[in-house]
Every structure is written in structure tokens, then in C-alpha cells.
Structure 1
């Protein structure tokens, strides 16, 4: 979260203002902070598109602003921290913003809890299963977890594969399995061929955590935008506040 606070030194000629003008300063500061936050959001979006690897529409639409208030609360630019499902942007963008090792994803935690993966392993997707954004679809991951008995209980419904006729018809338990094939550990998919079944990897298990460098310096970008536009925004906000003074 990036915050845009109030600068009490924004008015360079406080001593020359009359009482009416002085009373407009708090409103001008609130307006300035809010407009600067909106500028930060506008300036950050093209950087996200340029530097992130194929950001999804959900990621780009996760950036929000919150107006400042006359009670002293600063304006905010932030990534939505919760969705109906999936991992929120403020979590999976942390490595792009700060760099460092990637933590385990929810999918990996489920496999570790089931004993499919070791606690120090990470699941790396293979190219055939990645979509246009470089991710494995949520549907495929759900099928894998279901087939391996690693799906969580959701709203009273257990998504794991069972021996029921309906579950067998879906075939997830047969289609996906974890094993070491030709020296490579991972999650594999059985593919029916004319002469029998073949297998191909969906995820490869790696013993080292993916490391990210800082490619999206969110806070530095925000600071630069605020510094470059603060004086002009305050001047305009002060003029607007005086024009609407009662």
C-alpha cells in the first residue's frame, strides 16, 4: 500500500493568507493527496503492463485508490487484498515489488499437506499446460488436487476423487498422478494413445525456490510521481478550494 499524506509546508505563503484562505488549506491538502493518489495509479498501470510477465486482466484491475479525509487519513493506492477465489494480487506481486524467494502457493501447500511434495520442493509448470499468461488454469489445478485427494473442503462439498461412479467418470484419479519418471519427480498426466497410455509432466518438482529480482518498484514509482506533481496539484487544489469556499 502506498500512502499520500499531507504536507503542512505545501502553502509557501501561509503568513500572507487571510482567514478565509487559511481555512481552505485543510481541504486543499485533502484534495491534493487524493489527486496525487489517482496520478500514482495512472502512472503505475503502464509500468505493470511493461514490466510484469503477461499480467492478467485481474492483476491490472486489482489496483485501487482511496481518497484522503479531513480527519487526517492519507490517500491510498493499494492492491485489492481479497477476491472471491484465488490468490490476491497484493500477495503474488510481492516478489515483483521487493524481490526475493517465492513462497509456496496454495496449490503447492495442498500437495505438501497430502504428502505428494516435500516441504522444500516447489512445483514448476511445464509449457504445454500454461495459458497465454504463463499460468496453469485453475480448472486444471483443481482436477489435479481432486485426483490426488488433496482438494480442500469447500462450502460443505468435498472435491476429492472417490470410488463413486460419477467420480470415476471424470477420471481425475486415473489421469493425474505423482511419481518419479526417468529421474524426474513431478505431477504427471496419463494420455490415452492408440497403443496404450503415455505420460507427460504437468508440474516438475524443484528443490530450490524460484528467486525474483525487483522488476516493479511500486513504492519508488509512487514517490517519484508525488514529488514531480505535488506543487502543481496543491496550487490547483488550493485554487479549487477557494473557489468553492462558503
Structure 2
């Protein structure tokens, strides 16, 4: 999260007080902070488009601006930290922003808890199972967890596959399995082909801990944008406050 406090230096503050007085100045400061936060958002999105590998629409729509108020001239630019479902961008973009080691995802924690994957391992998506964004879709992940008996139970609803007719119709329990195929450990999908039955990898279990370099220097980008545009936005806000001030 980036906080943008629009407190100007002494010279700019004196100018604002001379032109606006102490009643309209807070409005100008709040407007300045909001405009800067909007510039930060646009700049960050430009970098995300350039540097992220096939970012999803959800990722690109995850950056928000909280506008400043007259009584609190601080605006914020931040990644949304909650979704109605799934993992929020504030969580999964941390590696891109800060770099370093990747913690286990919720999916991996469920596999570990079920004893299907070692606590030292990580589930790496197979290219053949990945979607256009390079990920295994959430829907497929839920089907896998259900098939392996590792799905969560919430609100009295059991998501794991069972022996019921409804569950058998879905076929997930027969479709996915965890095991070793040709010396490779992972999650596999059974497939029927013209040449007979076969399997393809969905996730491969890796003993190597994923380590990420910083792709989006979020705070540096924001700082540079604020420094480069502060006076222009403050001057523009003063002009707007003067034009709209009540006599």
C-alpha cells in the first residue's frame, strides 16, 4: 500500500494560504493527494502490463485508489486485500513486489495436510495443464482437491468426492490422482485417447523452493511518480480551488 500525504513544503504552503486561506487549502491538499494516487495507479499498471507474464484481468483490476478527504489529506493506492472467493492480489503479488521465497499456497497446504505432498515440496503447474495465463484454473484446482479428499468443509457442505451417485457422475475421483508416474511425483489426470488410456501431469511436485526476483518495484515507482508530479498537481489543485471557491 502507498500512502500519499499532500502536505506541501513551506513555500508552497505559504502560497496556498495567501491564495486560498485556511478554509479552502485542505480541499486543495486532498485533491492533490488524490490526483497523485491516480497517477501512481496508472504508472503501476503500465509496469505490470510490461513485466508480468500474461496477467489475468483479476490481477489488472486489483489496484485501487482511496481518495483523500478535506479532514484527512492522505490518499492511498493499494492492491485489493480481499475477494469474495479465491486468493486476493495483495497476497499473491507479494513475490512480484518484494521478491524472495514463495510461501505455500492454500492448495499446497491442503495437499500437505492430507499427506499427499511433502512439507518441503511445492506444486508446479504443468505447461500442458495451464491456461492462457500460465495457471491451472481455480475450477480445476477445486476438482483436484475434491477428488483427493483434500477439499475444505465449510457451512456444513462437504466438497470432497464421495461414493454418492451425484459425486460419481462428476467423475473427479476417478479422473485425478496423486502419485508417481515414470519417476515423477505429482498430481495426474487420467485421459482416454484413441491409442488407449493414459495420464498427463497437472502439477509436478518439486523439492526446489520457488524464489522470485523483484519484478515490480512498487514503492520506488510510486515515489518517483509523486516526486515528479507533486508541484504540477498542487498548482493545478490551487487553481481549481480558486475557481470553485465561494465568494
- TM-score range normalised by the length of the shorter chain: over 0.9
1:7 is displaced (CA, Å) by: 2.0
Mapping of residues 215-234 of structure 1, within 5 Å: 215-234=215-234
Q: Indicate if the aligned counterparts of 2:17 and 2:25 stay in contact, CA closer than 8 A.
A: no
For 1:154-198, what per-residue CA distance to the aligned partner results, in whole angstroms no more than 9, with x for missing partners?
A: 332211111112212222111111112222111111112456532
- Report which stretch shifted further, 126-135 or 9-18: 9-18
CA–CA distance in structure 2, aligned partners of residues 149 and 212 of structure 1 = 31
1:110 aligns with 2:110: yes
Please say if 1:140 is aligned against 2:140.
yes
1:85 corresponds in structure 2 to 85
List per-residue Cα deviations over 1:189-232 (Å, max 9, x = no partner).
11124565322211100112211101111111111110010001
| 2:156 alignment counterpart | 156
User: Secondary structure of the residue that 2:46 maps to in structure 1?
Assistant: helix
Q: Secondary structure of the residue that 1:50 maps to in structure 2?
A: helix
Residue 74 of structure 1 aligns with which residue? 74
Matched, 1:244 2:244: yes
Cα distance in 2 between the residues matched to 1:202 and 1:61 = 27
Question: Residues 37-78 of structure 1: CA distance to partner in whole angstroms, max 9, x if unpaired?
Answer: 011111111111110110001110111101112223510001
Are 2:41 and 2:63, in contact at CA under 8 Å, matched by a contact in 1? yes
**3-state secondary structure, aligned to 1:12:** helix
Gaps of 5+ in 1: none
- What does residue 101 of structure 2 align with? 101
3-state secondary structure, aligned to 1:192: strand
Moved more, 83-92 or 71-80: 71-80
Q: 1:10 to 1:37 in 2, by over 3 A?
A: farther
Q: TM-score, normalised by structure 1?
A: 0.93
8 Å contact from structure 2 (residues 19, 242) kept in 1: no
* Matching residue of 2:7: 7
Partner of 2:21: 21
Q: Using a 3 Å threshold, how does the CA distance of structure 1 residues 162 and 28 change in structure 2: closer, same or farther?
A: same
Q: CA deviation at 1:142?
A: 1.0
Q: TM-score, normalised by structure 2?
A: 0.93
Q: Which moved more, 1:146-155 or 1:88-97?
A: 146-155
Which deviations, in whole Å up to 9, do the C-alpha atoms of 1:71-130 show, x marking residues without a partner? 235100011111111111111110000101111111111111111111111000111110
Instruction: Name the CA distance, whole Å, in 1 between partners of 2:156 and 2:86.
Output: 18
Contact 2:67 2:76 (8 Å CA) reproduced: yes
Aligned Cα RMSD in Å?
1.9
In 2, Cα distance between equivalents of 1:15 and 1:77: 28
